[in-house]
Amino acid sequence: MNPCVLLIEDNEANRYLATFLLRQMGCTVEHAANGRDGLVLAERLHPALIVLDIQMPEMDGYEVATRLRAEPTTAKIPILVVTSYAMSGDRERAMALGVDDYLEKPFAPDEFTTRVRRLLTPPAP
């Protein structure tokens, strides 16, 4: 079965690229264009991975990550932050919220797929 990835991203061009790369990897991709919709979908879908933008309308990625980690049903879903909102300290702030990885845009496609694979691969026992 193909892993389901929830992509929470408001920029259409970024959604297109990430969706293309994820589908090339064999993933099923669901989209949310803002943080509020992303939270609803995460609860409903229980995806294998969440790819999360930081700067979005209605609710930013920091708040989304905080709420995902606070809910028992979504607390353990891996989160890959992919953002162009990269100021000094942003990576540390995101990691402190419990996200699993952080990637700045623009990114190399092979770097994105490497990180996604790593997060989709369960750790060895």
**Structural domain boundaries of the chain?**
4-120
Mean pLDDT of the chain: 92
How do residues 38-71 score in pLDDT, each as one tens digit? 999 999 999 999 999 998 888 999 999 999 999 9
Burial 60-81 (b: 16+ CB within 10 A, else e): bbbbbbebbeeeeebeebbbbb
Residue 81 confidence class, pLDDT cut points 50, 70, 90: very high
Which of 2, 1, 5, 3 has its CA nearest to residue 80? Answer: 5
Q: 4-120 in CATH: which number? A: 3.40.50.2300
**Are residues 69 and 46 in contact, defined by beta-carbon separation less than 8 angstroms?**
no
Q: How far is CA 68 from the centre of its chain?
A: 11
**Are residues 9 and 33 in contact, defined by beta-carbon separation less than 8 angstroms?**
yes
**Are residues 7 and 19 in contact, defined by beta-carbon separation less than 8 angstroms?**
yes
Map residue 99 onto helix, strand or coil.
Answer: coil
